């Protein structure tokens, strides 16, 4: 009783953003955060799911997430106005390919974690390579001040949003007002509700195949600032990875950009990284078109030819109704195969204790010397290397077969014309003469199943052998290649080159339109055999080989220099370079492998890096010191990755990029 009498009770005002009301509750300084939220919910008496809500302190820009910490420990007093608000809010995300999506993002976690959740939903591996950027504001400074805290007006947006008990980070709502000119591919990520889409089951076509040209509004904003100094200043828009979105004045409904931040791309896999490859390709493509990347005329033509080749494949595949990626064709066919084989009375029956069986209606013809070719439809069954023919499916139960043959040692020959839809199998049995039997299949999938069964039988193997499924995959892959090779490209389409879609403005001024079109078509001939994914990967490899393409530049002032002197410093994936402010040529290079210690003085916002033979001390003149500090630490973190699947080490990333102390020193071995 004596201890409780010493507790100071006071009325704490909490604004509930979901209801747009203020609520005063009587609490004590020894109350922990969890007890305060529980007391608030009990006094509200409104039966709804509050599990996604947390306390936010606007004046301190701080989340109160440690539920066992007391109010006294958090320095919360009677005049501390807190918000009780959902942690997951809707944020408009512009992807690297310039498409916009409304996503549900956790505003209470660090930007590093938020990006990890987003990339997981979007199917992008290695999320540590990406981060979020602010969109350059075109509104008045009053609007900027208004965004400094979550005002009641801004928070009232939450009124229409019901809390979701799952921690999904994407809503899948696509804003049509900001949509691109080609939005048909975005339907997979479009939903009329904010809390129903599960991105893990969404087909990735909208993210793996982007439209050629976005809307004019996006293009105007994209080409607005193209000078070198503007590009350097743009680096200040990167969000701090060690802080949450709310702590950086990002409120619900704001627009941010998801971009590849670190140009140290790791383990690109054409089978696993179709979305990742496309998004990186699109980011580089727009960087070349906006002249953010300096390249020669020859390199520009290579980029343009690859872009045009990718555009042609996409247009031809869309016209023919076929997908451009061979692996996707195989995966889709195998998926259909699994469904068909699980159906009753058709396909393989591989239940435990039964012999695998393949059965379906086929068109059959027995070659005879003086007979006309006339195919008859019959029900065919292959089981334990025995081929049987029945008039009807119902005859199988009674054993009323027209004929039965042993497939051991048979010879099988394909007779396929993909462009004409002809899928025929010539089967010569040991007991036959050279005439043999002809089986006509209706679809590629049906042909692959039966052809695989006959090939295994020719090697005295049944369909129970483990090589049966790989054999089907091999046949489908071959058919897919034949289809792509035999798909004609319209001559008119080949010459329909719009150079302004594939080269930058400087290149357009150097040459005439017909000259550029001729150069693009001529260069494309060397890439004609590449698939869409391989062409994008080739595009990325050419970009990686460009000198200085992976350099992120900052304006800095070195210690003991004149105040007006501004130097240009660049950070690459393995070094820090000093550059000429006018010609942008490299003057000095310091490699990370020679770094001995790294000291960051957050009070004067200065970095001091000690190398084997020199010491570098500088402060940023435009960007925040934290931005360049995070780039250096991020590249060092990425250099520590090893081959194989490896989860991101969040603790190590924050140690290298967060700067937990005012004078934090890291040691690295060469």
Assess if residue 663 is contained within a domain: yes
Q: Tokens for 641?
A: 């990755």
> Which residue ranges of the chain lie beneath pLDDT 50?
1-4, 139-203, 322-326, 332, 335-336, 338-353, 369-372, 485-491, 493-494, 660-670
Domain boundary among 405, 432, 466: 466
Domain boundary among 27, 61, 86: 86
Contact 554, 623 (CB under 8 A): yes
Whether residues 252 and 372 fall in one domain:
no
Domain boundary among 466, 496, 526: 466
Contact 630, 657 (CB under 8 A): yes
Whether residues 93 and 230 fall in one domain:
yes
Assess if residue 67 is contained within a domain: yes
Whether residues 287 and 172 fall in one domain:
yes
Give the C-alpha separation, 188 to 372, whole Å.
51
The pLDDT score that the predictor gives to residue 601 is 85
Listed residue (299, 310, 231) closest to 544, CA to CA? 299
Whether residues 266 and 392 fall in one domain:
no
What does pTM read for this prediction?
A: 0.67
Give the C-alpha separation, 126 to 275, whole Å.
12
Sign of CA dihedral 529, 533, 536, 542: negative
Assess if residue 303 is contained within a domain: no
Give the C-alpha separation, 250 to 133, whole Å.
11
What CATH number is attached to the domain comprising 591?
2.30.29.30
Q: Using one digit for the tens of pLDDT, what is the confidence trace for 345-389? A: 334 444 434 678 899 999 888 765 444 467 888 999 998 888 999
Instruction: Compute the half-sphere exposure of residue 299: CA atoms within 13 Å on the CB side of its CA.
Output: 18
Contact 562, 629 (CB under 8 A): no
Domain range for 213: 89-292
* DSSP run (H or E) holding 367: none
The pLDDT score that the predictor gives to residue 276 is 95
Whether residues 164 and 139 fall in one domain:
yes
| Overall domain count for the chain | 4
Whether residues 225 and 269 fall in one domain:
yes
φ, ψ of residue 21 in degrees (nearest 5): -135, 155
φ, ψ of residue 542 in degrees (nearest 5): -65, -40
Assess if residue 248 is contained within a domain: yes
In sequence order, what are the beta bridge partners of 366? 437
Assess if residue 547 is contained within a domain: no
Whether residues 79 and 95 fall in one domain:
no
What CATH number is attached to the domain comprising 130?
3.10.20.90
Give the C-alpha separation, 49 to 162, whole Å.
8
Whether residues 118 and 29 fall in one domain:
no
Assess if residue 342 is contained within a domain: no
The pLDDT score that the predictor gives to residue 483 is 64
Assess if residue 508 is contained within a domain: no
Whether residues 366 and 411 fall in one domain:
yes
Whether residues 120 and 260 fall in one domain:
yes
Assess if residue 368 is contained within a domain: yes
Q: From the DSSP assignment, how many helices (H) and strands (E) are in the chain?
A: 20, 24
Contact 180, 99 (CB under 8 A): yes
Whether residues 79 and 192 fall in one domain:
no
Whether residues 146 and 81 fall in one domain:
no
């Amino acid at each position: 009783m004596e201890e409780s009498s010493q507790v100071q009770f006071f009325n704490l005002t909490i604004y509930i953003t979901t209801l747009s009301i203020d609520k005063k509750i009587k609490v004590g300084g020894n109350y922990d955060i969890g007890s305060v939220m529980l007391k608030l919910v009990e006094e509200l008496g409104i039966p709804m799911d509050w599990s996604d809500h947390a306390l936010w302190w606007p004046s301190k820009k701080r989340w109160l997430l440690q539920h066992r910490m007391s109010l006294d420990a958090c320095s919360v007093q009677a005049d501390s106005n807190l918000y009780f608000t959902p942690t997951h809010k809707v944020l408009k995300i512009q992807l690297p390919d310039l498409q916009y999506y409304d996503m549900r993002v956790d505003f209470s976690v660090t930007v590093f974690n938020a990006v990890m959740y987003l990339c997981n939903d979007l199917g992008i591996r290695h999320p540590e390579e990406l981060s979020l950027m602010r969109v350059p504001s075109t509104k008045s400074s009053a609007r900027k001040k208004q965004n400094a805290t979550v005002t009641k007006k801004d928070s009232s947006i939450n009124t229409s949003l019901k809390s979701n008990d799952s921690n999904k980070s994407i809503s899948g709502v696509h804003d049509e007002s900001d949509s691109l000119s080609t939005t048909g591919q975005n339907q997979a990520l479009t939903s009329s509700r904010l809390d129903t889409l599960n991105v893990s089951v969404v087909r990735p076509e909208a993210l793996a195949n982007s439209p050629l040209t976005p809307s004019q509004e996006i293009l105007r904003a994209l080409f607005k600032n193209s000078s070198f100094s503007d590009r350097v200043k743009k680096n200040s828009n990167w969000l701090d990875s060690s802080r949450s979105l709310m702590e950086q004045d990002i409120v619900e409904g704001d627009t941010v950009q998801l971009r590849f931040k670190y140009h140290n791309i790791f383990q690109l896999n054409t089978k696993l990284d179709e979305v990742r490859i496309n998004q990186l390709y699109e980011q580089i493509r727009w960087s070349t078109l906006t002249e953010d990347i300096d390249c020669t005329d020859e390199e520009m033509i290579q980029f343009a030819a690859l872009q045009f080749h990718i555009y042609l494949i996409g247009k031809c595949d869309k016209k023919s109704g076929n997908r451009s990626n061979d692996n996707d064709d195989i995966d889709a066919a195998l998926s259909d195969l699994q469904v068909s084989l699980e159906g009753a009375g058709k396909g393989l029956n591989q239940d435990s204790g039964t012999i695998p069986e393949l059965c379906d209606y086929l068109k059959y013809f027995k070659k005879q010397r003086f007979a006309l070719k006339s195919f008859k439809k019959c029900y065919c069954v292959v089981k334990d290397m025995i081929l049987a023919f029945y008039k009807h499916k119902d005859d199988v139960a009674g054993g009323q077969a027209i004929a039965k043959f042993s497939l051991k040692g048979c010879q099988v020959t394909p007779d396929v014309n993909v462009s004409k839809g002809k899928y025929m199998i010539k089967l010569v049995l040991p007991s036959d003469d050279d005439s043999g039997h002809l089986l006509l299949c209706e679809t590629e999938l049906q042909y692959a199943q039966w052809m695989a069964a006959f090939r295994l039988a020719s090697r005295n193997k049944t369909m129970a052998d483990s090589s049966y499924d790989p054999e089907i995959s091999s046949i489908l892959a071959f058919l897919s290649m034949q289809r792509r090779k035999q798909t004609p490209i319209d001559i008119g389409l080949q010459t329909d080159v719009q150079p302004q879609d594939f080269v930058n403005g400087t290149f357009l001024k150097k040459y005439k339109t017909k000259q550029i079109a001729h150069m693009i078509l001529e260069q494309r001939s060397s890439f004609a055999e590449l698939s869409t994914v391989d062409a994008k990967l080739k595009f990325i490899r050419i970009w990686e080989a460009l000198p200085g393409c992976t350099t992120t530049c900052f304006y800095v002032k070195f210690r003991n220099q004149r105040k007006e002197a501004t130097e240009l410093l660049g950070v690459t994936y393995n070094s820090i370079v000093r550059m000429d402010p006018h010609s942008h040529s490299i003057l000095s290079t310091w490699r990370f492998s020679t770094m001995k210690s790294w000291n960051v003085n957050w009070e004067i916002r200065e970095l001091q890096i000690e190398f084997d033979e020199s010491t570098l001390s500088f402060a940023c003149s435009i960007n925040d010191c934290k931005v360049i500090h995070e780039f250096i630490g991020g590249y060092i973190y990425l250099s520590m990755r090893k081959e194989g699947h490896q989860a991101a080490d969040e603790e190590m990333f924050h140690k290298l990029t967060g700067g937990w102390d005012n004078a934090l020193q890291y040691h690295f071995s060469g």
